[in-house]
Amino acid sequence: MPKSMSKDAGGPDKPLQRLLGGFIRLHVLHHAAEKEGVVGNWMIEELRRHGYRLSPGTLYPILHAMEEDGWLKSRKAPGGGRRRVYRITQAGRRAFSVAQERLGELLQEVAEP
């Protein structure tokens, strides 16, 4: 999560984590729509580039829930091992499209003076 999410040395700001959780899911859907899809470790690094600090223990339950919701589909990554590639599904594309519309409306509203 963003560095600014830490209340103090005592730990993360849980309410802010819940608020920004939707942004993380949107970010995952955005990248899962790319031709090659995403793998968890790459997604952790990508989110880190944007100021989020997630551990595998945080991201993988999100990916699994999104797969359970029908928004993502995973398959074993080439090369074997436990790595999985996550790709967006048609249902995920529809959900992402709705989210983009609502995000656009929200951005216009909060940007108004």
What average pLDDT does range 53-61 have in this prediction? 93
Q: Which domain holds residue 94?
A: 12-111
Residues 13-32 have pLDDT tens digits of 889 888 889 999 999 999 99
Q: What is the pLDDT of residue 42?
A: 94
**36 in any annotated domain:** yes
The pLDDT, as a whole number, for residue 21 is 92
Domains of the chain: total: 1
More confident residue, 13 or 58: 58
Report the C-alpha gap between 51 and 18 in whole angstroms: 15
In a domain, 25, yes or no: yes
Q: What is the pLDDT of residues 34-51, one digit of tens each?
A: 988 999 999 999 999 999
Q: Is residue 56 part of a domain?
A: yes
Let me know if residue 4 belongs to a domain.
Answer: no
With respect to residue 2, please indicate whether it lies within any of the assigned structural domains: no
Q: Does 59 reside within a domain?
A: yes
β-strands 11-12, 84-88: how paired? unpaired
1 in a structural domain: no
The mean per-residue pLDDT over the stretch 44-61 comes to 93
Closest CA to 1 of 109, 79, 11: 11
Q: What is the pLDDT of residue 23?
A: 94
pLDDT of residue 12: 65
Burial class from Cβ neighbours inside 10 Å (0-12, 13-18, 19+) for residue 13 reads middle
> Which residues does residue 76 pair with via DSSP β-bridges, in sequence order?
84
Q: Could you tell me if residue 3 is inside a domain?
A: no
